[in-house]
Each structure stands twice: as structure tokens, then as C-alpha cells.
Structure 1
Amino acid sequence: MSRFESVQPLAANIRYSDYLARTTLRAWVGMSFLSATLIIVAGLLISWLMPYLAGGADSIVPHFYYVPILFAAARFGPGAALIVALVAGVLAGPLTYVDVAAATAQETERWLTRTAFFVGIGQLMAWLVIPALHPVTEELRRMRQEFDIRRGLKHNEFFLRYQPIYSLRQRRFVGVEALIRWQHPAHGELAPADFLDVAEDSSLIHDIGELVIAEGCRQAEEWATLAREQGRGPWYTAINLSARDLVRPELAYDVASALNRHHLPPELLTIELTESVLALEDAEPALEALKHLGVHLAIDDFGTGYSSLAYLNRFPIDTLKLDRQLVSRLGHDPSAEDLARGIVLLASSLGLKMVAEGIETLEQVERGQELGFDLIQGFYFARPLTADQIPSLLMIDNVDPDHPPTPEATRA
């Protein structure tokens, strides 16, 4: 047998041992507080009962206490390990006879020494496990949330809110951005930051993306019908897609199916993508396929650090959305204004629309007018609203930016 062949079984055993240890730790950490506590209590009682039934500490050395102590250390940490170790010391000491039949008590020095070992081993275990606890706990949290998201999708807990988009030139609202929300049964309404990172690490992001596309198109057509009935121009709807959605081969087909199913003109749908998405190798074919459908494409959070003029020249982009962090500095940071002015000039030279998001003050509105933004959106006009709250804003012909409409719903 070669040296390499002899090492292989050893490496396999190490990998298996590591897997077994990690699996055991994951099972312990994932156990509920009540279940873990009951196991510790049961372990202590069984550890006390065994020497008692065997006739005393001289018949069986009370070492079984290490099991609940080590479990407490791994599940709850050093504090719990110390408490369990002290309880074990009392149970294995004054409450355990050397000889049950003769009712002979243990020497104080003997059980105190054992208690010291209990405490020492428990603390050592706890501090050895601590470095592994965080990644395992985080892994379990993400697993639970992934399961929760799957359940939420099944029970239709995800829905869209819409933030109005205002045209500075037309002085009215011309569209909305659809924003995914989760009405969690225990935690209430959750924003994307609370669940999208977990969804993007699994196939669930595709399910959420399909929901956003379908519901966004359905609602957009409903508003388009309302606009036609009122003799008004249609309003567009912008939706956000993740990088994992963009590289899905069936994305363009799903968008086309939603447009056809709801009879929505493609120019009324805008798909927003982050700049980082454009760096993907598979981005160009996907964007070309979407553009072929007639939908509009926007780069979201433009100016966050990934900006590249090559992307604007390479991809069929229609709109730039200025990053809210840059917008928040307008009015008190000259460098931010210079950068914003440069981006506006760039967009104008390329024939792109310019949207500023995160507008929260009248001063930012006025700076946006001076800089030449086409469209703006933000809390200054309205927080994200439910679908039935949108038409009352979109139907207003002349919205004075100095005194924006503030229906009670927008203050929720």
C-alpha cells in the first residue's frame, strides 16, 4: 500500500468526525430552550440515580454528570455550564452516599475535588465551543428563515407596496415603484432587508421574483385600465429583480407571459437592476432578451461605487436611478452636488431618464429641480402605500411640490 493510499482513510475519518461533530452541535444548538432544559434536568437525575441504584459512589464513580454538563456548555454557554456543574457537584457529593446500604456520606474533600473537575471541564468545553457557536447559530437561523419564507409564500403572506414617482416637469405622479413586503404572522410587516439575503442564497428568490413580476404586471394593468377610463395617460410600474433572477434562462419568458396574461403594454413595465448585476457575465443576453420584449430597464442605486461608463454603453439601459445616499447629501455637500450634476449631464447625453430616490425634504426637491432630475421619489411625497391608496395620488393633475398631497394613509 502506498503512503498516499494509507493517508486517504485517515483523511476520510477526519472529515467524517468533523461532519459528525458539526451535525451534533447543530442539533444541540437548534433544540428549543424547553427541550434542552428538560434534557439537562433528566441527565442530572439519571446521573444521580445510577450510583444510588448501584449501591453508592464506591460501586460506580459518578462520571455520568459530564454528559449534561457538556450539553449545557454547548447549548447555552459558560454561564449555564457553571450552574449545571455546581448542581452536579451537590448531587454527586452531599446527596450521594459512598455506601447506600450503610448511609455513609462522602468525604468533603472528595466531592469538592469532583465538583472542581465538573466546573473546569464544563468551562473548558464552553470556551472551546464558543468559536463554532456563531456560525452554527447563524446557519440554523437562516435554515429556519428559509423554511419560514417557504411557508409564507405558500400562505400568500408576501405582497407589494408602491411608492409614487413624481415628475418635476409634468408636476404630477407618473408611476410607482413596487416594493416587496412580508406580512409575517409573528413579526408583522417585514421589509426586504429582513429576508431577501436568505432568499437569495436559495431558490426561493426565484419564487419571490415570479410573484413580484406577476403581481406587478397585474396591478399595472388595473391602473392602466383606470387611466383609460378617466381619459388620462397611463402610469408605469417599476419592479426590482435580483442578480440570481437575471441569470435565470426563463426570466424573459416569465416576464413575457405576465405581460400577455394581463394585457399590459411592455413600455409600462420598468425592471430595476443594481449596478453590480451588470458585472455578471450572463447579464448581456438576459438584458437584450428583456429589452426585446419592449420593457424599460433601469440601473438602481447608481453612483454607489460600481459605476462604469462601459456598462452604459454596452447595455440597453433606459433610466438611471441616483443612489439615495448621494441624494441625502444634496444641499450641504458641494462634492455630492457636483457628482449629481455630472450624472445628470451623462444621462442627458445618452438619452436616459434620471430618477432620484430617497427625497425626504423640500430642499432636496428644489436641488433636484436645479440639477435637472426628471423624476423623484421618496418619503417627502409618500411612504410605500398599498395598491388601493395609489390611484388617489395618480389622479391628481397638478401636484405642488411645496405642498404635496398627504392622505392619512401616507402617514402610516
Structure 2
Amino acid sequence: MSRSDSAPLQANGSWYSEYLARTTLRSWVGMSFVSATLIIVGGLLLSWLIPYLAGGADRIVPHLYYVPILFAAARFGPGAALIVALVAGVLAGPLTYVDVATATAQETERWLTRTAFFVGIGQLMAWLVIPALRPVTEELRRMRQEFDIRRGLKHNEFFLRYQPIYSIRQRRFVGVEALIRWQHPVHGELTPADFLDVAEDSSLIHDIGELVVAEACRQTEEWKNHAQAQGREPWYTAINLSARDLIRPELAYDVARALKRHHLPPDLLTIELTETVLVLEDAKPALAALKHLGVHLAIDDFGTGYSSLAYLNRFPIDTLKLDRQLVSNLGHDPSAADLARGIALLAGSLGLTTVAEGIETRHQIELSRELGFDRIQGFYFARPLQADEVPSLLLLEAVDPDNPPTPRSSPHTMNPSGQSLRRGPGR
């Protein structure tokens, strides 16, 4: 076989060795504390029993002790490796005779030398494994959470909360932003920061996206019917979708199907995009198809990127949502006010609606009015609400910002628990 022929075999052998080592390390690290401890204790006992039954440490060299030592180093680190090595040294020394039949003990020098080897090999293994241990541990954590998310989706633990959006000109609430939450059976209510990064690395983000679209449309239709029964104008719902969702060719079809199923006018649904999505060329067909349906598109966190202005001509945008960090600097940083005013003027000249996020004080409301924003949302009015709390706010004819109303549960909402199956990657 030529050298060139052997190269692929060597490469495959190297890959297989790396795969085997990583798989072994993953299985060791992923083992529970109790199971790993039992394996170490069992390994120590077996390593002592075999030389003893063989007639002593001279009849069979007690190298089996290295197995539990190396396991402890890989599973628990250098501290555990040191403890197991010292225990192994005692078991292989004073507790294991050289010759069982004559009850002849080992020489102290040989015992100490063997113990030193146990300690040295264990510490060397631990420090060699440490660089690989962290990524493997993180990988296992993500694998466990991915399994947990899959279980949560199956058991309907994901639901939406809604934050009202206030119109400055109309002096009333005109819509909501849907925000995904996870009612975890152990950790309680989790926000997207706790699980979306794992979901986006797998196909689970598509399952979550479908739930968000379907539940948002279902809930908006319910609110629409309730508003019309009260002789009021219906309000819209804004949702956030992952970049991986927005490059799927079938996204527009899924949205159209949800709108049709719930008899919902497309202009009552707004899909918020981040600049990350807009830089993806693959997202352009999906955005064009969504716009063709009549769905509104918004750029979220506007004012934080370097190339946001270029997107206003490239994509059919309806709304600009100012970043909450920019809004929080209003009244403190003069450049923030100048930038916000420029964005409002630009949006007005292009016929776009502006929404300021993160409003938390009365002063920020006044600044938003002075700067020319159309709509605002934030904790000043309400934190993200359950579905049954929303109608009490959105049915109000007028809202005085000096005396914001307190949300209350509504008997008209079909989902009083707020724990729907749909979720939208919100904040």
C-alpha cells in the first residue's frame, strides 16, 4: 500500500480514536454522582480482591487500581483523583500482603513508591482531561435541556405572555407583543434567555415557532371577536420568530394556514425581525411572501446596528421598534435624544410606524411624545400579562398615562390559566 493510500486510513483512524475518546468521556461525565461513586468504590474493592486472591502483590502487580483512579479524574477532577489514589495506595500497600500464605508484608519503600505513582498518574490524567471536560460538560447540559424542552413541548408547558402597546396619538392600547415563557415543573417560569439558545441549535426552534404563530393567531381571533362584540376596534399581536424560522420556505404557508384557520385578518399580525435576520439573503423570499400575505413586518431593536438604514429600502418594513437601551438613555444622554429624533423623522418620511420599547417612567413618555414616536410599551404600563388580563386594558376607550390602569382577569378569555401551547421567541 502506498503512502497516499494509507493517508485516508490514518485520518479515519485518528477520527475514530477522537470519537471513541469523546464518547467515553461524555458517558463518564454524564453519569450521575451516585453511579460514578459506586463504580469507583467497586473498582477499588475489585482491585484489592484480585491481588489478594492471587496470593499477594508480588504474584500479580496491582495495576488495576489505575482504572478507578482514572475514572475519578475524568468524572470528578483532580481533587477526587487524589483521594482515590491515596485510598488505592493504602489498599495496595498495608492491606495487600506480598505473600498471603506467609503473611509477609510489603516493604515501606515499595508501598510509598506505588502510591506516588497512583497520585501522579491520577493528577496527570485530571489535568489532561480538564480542557476537554468543560466542553463535554456543556454539551451534556445542552443535551439534557434539549430533551427537557422536547418533554415540555409534549406536555404543553410553553405559553405566551403579552405586553400591551400604547398609542400616544390615540391615547389607548392598540396591540400587544407576545412573549414566550416556559412553566418548568422544577425551575418555575423561565424566559427565552433560559432556553432559546438550545432550541435554536436544534429543530425544536421550528416546533416552538409553529406554536407561537398558531397560539398568537388563535388568541388574537378571540380578542377580535370580543372587541367587535363590544363595538371596539380590534388590536394586533406582534410576535418574534427565530432567524432559522425565517429562512424556511414553508414559513409563509404555515402563517397563511394559521390565519385562515382562525379567520384572522393578516394586518392584525406583526412579525418582528432582528438585524440578524435581515443580513440573511435566504430570508428575503420568506419576508416577501409574508408581506404578500398582508402580514406587517417590524425591525426590532432598531438603532443598535451599523447598517439598519440600508434595510429600509431592501425589505418591505412597516414598523421600527427602538431599542430599549436607546430609550433608557433618553433624558441622560443628549446624543440618544438626537438619534431617537432622527429615527422618528426618518420613519415619518418613509411612512413607517415607530414603537419605543422599555418605557418605565412618566418622563420617558413625555420624551417619546416630544420626539414624535407613535407607540410605546414597557413596564410603566404593565409587565407581560396572562391572556385573560389583556382585555381589561385593551377595551379601555382612553388611558391617562398619569394614572395607568391595573390589569384584571377577564371572564371572556377562553384560556384563563394563560398556559397555552404556543410560544414565540420573545424577551
Cross-structure match for 2:424 = none
Cross-structure match for 1:267 = 267
Equivalent positions of 1:97-246 (< 5 A) are: 97-246=97-246
How much does 1:308 deviate? 2.8
Cross-structure match for 1:337 = 337
The TM-score with structure 1 as length reference comes to 0.97
Cross-structure match for 1:90 = 90
Cross-structure match for 2:256 = 256
- For 1:50, give the aligned amino acid: I
- For 2:395, give the aligned amino acid: M
- For 1:216, give the aligned amino acid: A
How much does 1:129 deviate? 0.4
The TM-score with structure 2 as length reference comes to 0.94
1:29-56 C-alpha deviation (Å, 9 max, x unpaired): 1111111111111111101111111111
What is the rounded CA distance, in whole Å, between the counterparts of 2:8 and 2:270 in structure 1? 55
RMSD of the TM alignment (CA)?
A: 1.1
How much does 1:306 deviate? 4.4
How much does 1:151 deviate? 0.9
Gaps of at least 5 residues in structure 1 are none
Cross-structure match for 1:281 = 281
Cross-structure match for 1:381 = 381
1:146-168 C-alpha deviation (Å, 9 max, x unpaired): 11111111111111000111111
Confirm or deny: 8 A CA contact 2:77 2:126 kept in the other structure. Answer: yes
Confirm or deny: 8 A CA contact 2:160 2:178 kept in the other structure. Answer: yes
- For 1:66, give the aligned amino acid: Y
How much does 1:408 deviate? 7.2
How much does 1:121 deviate? 0.5
Confirm or deny: 8 A CA contact 2:165 2:175 kept in the other structure. Answer: yes
- For 1:335, give the aligned amino acid: S
1:353 aligns with 2:373: no
Cross-structure match for 1:37 = 37
- For 2:208, give the aligned amino acid: I
Cross-structure match for 1:62 = 62
What is the rounded CA distance, in whole Å, between the counterparts of 1:268 and 1:8 in structure 2? 58
Cross-structure match for 1:293 = 293
What is the rounded CA distance, in whole Å, between the counterparts of 2:91 and 2:163 in structure 1? 64
Percent identical pairs in the alignment equals 85
- For 1:328, give the aligned amino acid: S
Cross-structure match for 1:76 = 76
What is the rounded CA distance, in whole Å, between the counterparts of 1:221 and 1:307 in structure 2? 36
- For 2:60, give the aligned amino acid: I
Confirm or deny: 8 A CA contact 2:302 2:308 kept in the other structure. Answer: no
- 1:71 is paired with a residue whose SS is helix
1:2 aligns with 2:2: yes
What is the rounded CA distance, in whole Å, between the counterparts of 1:16 and 1:129 in structure 2? 18
- 1:182 is paired with a residue whose SS is strand
How much does 1:356 deviate? 0.7
Confirm or deny: 8 A CA contact 1:88 1:115 kept in the other structure. Answer: yes
Confirm or deny: 8 A CA contact 1:70 1:125 kept in the other structure. Answer: yes
1:125-147 C-alpha deviation (Å, 9 max, x unpaired): 00000000111111111111111
What is the rounded CA distance, in whole Å, between the counterparts of 1:122 and 1:219 in structure 2? 59
What is the rounded CA distance, in whole Å, between the counterparts of 1:207 and 1:239 in structure 2? 15
Confirm or deny: 8 A CA contact 1:177 1:238 kept in the other structure. Answer: yes
Confirm or deny: 8 A CA contact 2:249 2:285 kept in the other structure. Answer: no
Greater mean alpha carbon deviation, residues 366-375 or residues 103-112: 103-112
